[in-house]
Structure 1
Amino acid sequence: MYGLGDVGFFDRIAPLYDRVMPPADGEALAAGLDHATRPIDRLLDVGGGSGRATTALAGPEITVVDASLVMLARAREHRGLSGVAGDAGRLPFGDGSVDAATIVDAFHHLPDQAAAIEEAARVIAPGGALVIREFDPTNPLGRALVASEHAIGMKSRFRAPDALADDLADAGFDPRIVDRGFAYTVVGVRE
């Protein structure tokens, strides 16, 4: 699993990650999950690393999926979360086996974004939701983030909200842009 996107970087910064990253926007995530037309009992936090985003949610059984074993260890040890080592482009779950998935502040790090969307479409049951919280590269702060991540050697590939919504539609989701700005939320409801 090493060599996938920016995994090596996250392995190195794992002990500091939760100290330097702001908390996830639980209201934006909950608003995204509210678009599901089925109850959300089982949720995957794809690229969830230390589980920072899932601490902003309450209710469903949450499993963090990440390629960084060091970040997953932090999710298990410091947050008591279930964690599975995995590639977002080859999720180790059965068809229709979860009610929802989130990808929070991580989509731009995924080396095969199209495969990640297709895999989410495969594992999310009809009526479930994929909630992606990302940074808009067309926003002035977004342009600065893109430049800074590239300057430190990350292979980040950011998508604007409308382009991401189009990608979700192509994979069989009914997409909605929940909010816009430097950070934005796009939701796809599985048809």
Structure 2
Amino acid sequence: MHGPGDVAFFDRVARLYDRLAPATNPEFLWAGLARADRPVERVLDLAGGTGRAARAIAAPVGRMRAPETLVVDASRAMLAHAAERGTPAVRGDAGRLPVRTAAVDAVVVLDALHHLPDQGAALAEAARVLRPGGVVVVREFDPRTLRGRALVAAERAVGFGSTFRGPDAWAAALGDAGLAPTVLDRGFAFTVVGKKRESQ
């Protein structure tokens, strides 16, 4: 779940969110999904808001066919917009996901993990709902870059309780959740993947 102030903000801006949010490049998400050791047929879009990530991976790439997606978010207004676009969505807390254990092949978290008040619990839950061989794909912003510092300042000005981390710190957090982490790319925006071992 986002912090209480963050949820209230997203409820207010839900109608404009897709126009204000940065464009989503599906290539980074698909590169993360390609790291799975199993077919990616069901994807959870965690803290997914209006379903930007779910829609970004809705078109097949190469030999990978488009998966079924489910958005889980704390903001009713954001989820209403996801549903209006035909994206299956359910309200829930990222630290207590309303999804059964080993139910999905991948979890994607697009530009959202920094908003969650208990990031460790969210990643542990992501690992729980993941099938062996599946992946958690995190797309985030590096607060050490020039643009990252500007983003941190902007979110603080709005009143968000965001906690940003760099790619290596997120990789370590995925490791703490019991996943095998890999940093796929670096920069202002970066991608980190955690794979659930087959023996888990």
Q: Shorter-chain TM-score: which interval?
A: over 0.9
Taking the aligned partners of 2:79 and 2:190, their CA distance within structure 1 comes to 25
Distance 1:112 1:5, change over 3 A: farther
Given the superposition, is the C-alpha separation of residues 30 and 2 from structure 1 closer, same or farther in structure 2, using an over 3 Å criterion? closer
Aligned counterpart for 1:76 among listed residues 76, 83, 86: 83
Give a deviation string over 1:18-68, Cα, whole Å, max 9, x none. Answer: 111122120000001100001111100001101112211131100000000
Q: Within 5 A, what are the aligned runs for 1:1-80?
A: 4=4, 6-58=6-58, 59-77=66-84, 79-80=85-86
**2:137–2:194 CA contact under 8 A, matched in 1:** yes
| Moved segments of 4+, more than 2 Å | 1-5
SS in 2 for 1:172: coil
In the alignment, the residues of structure 2 paired with residue 151 and residue 5 of structure 1 have an alpha-carbon distance, to the nearest angstrom, of 13
Unaligned runs of 5+ in 1: none
C-alpha deviation, 1:140, in angstroms: 1.0
Q: Does 1:135 align with 2:141?
A: yes
In structure 1, the residue corresponding to 2:99 is in which secondary structure? coil
Q: 1:37 to 1:5 in 2, by over 3 A?
A: farther
Identical aligned pairs, as a percentage? 59
Q: Deviations over 1:75-134 (max 9, x none)?
A: 001x20100100111101111111100000000100110000000010001100000000
Task: State the SS of the aligned residue for 1:6.
Answer: helix
What residue in structure 1 maps to residue 196 of structure 2? 190
After superposition, the CA RMSD in angstroms is 1.2
- 2:93 and 2:188 mapped to 1: Cα distance? 26
Gaps of 5+ in 2: 59-65
CA–CA separation in structure 2 for the residues paired with 1:124 and 1:168:
13
When normalised by structure 2's length, the TM-score is 0.92
Task: Tell me the number of residue pairs that the alignment of Structure 1 and Structure 2 aligns.
Answer: 190
Deviation of 1:3 (Å): 5.4
TM-score of the aligned structures, taking structure 1 as reference length: 0.96
The Cα shift of 1:156 comes to 0.6
1:159 aligns with 2:175: no
Distance 2:129 2:195 in 1: 13
Secondary structure of the corresponding residue to residue 52 of structure 2: coil
Which secondary structure does the structure 1 equivalent of 2:133 belong to? strand
Tell me the distance in 1 between the aligned counterparts of 2:155 and 2:82.
24
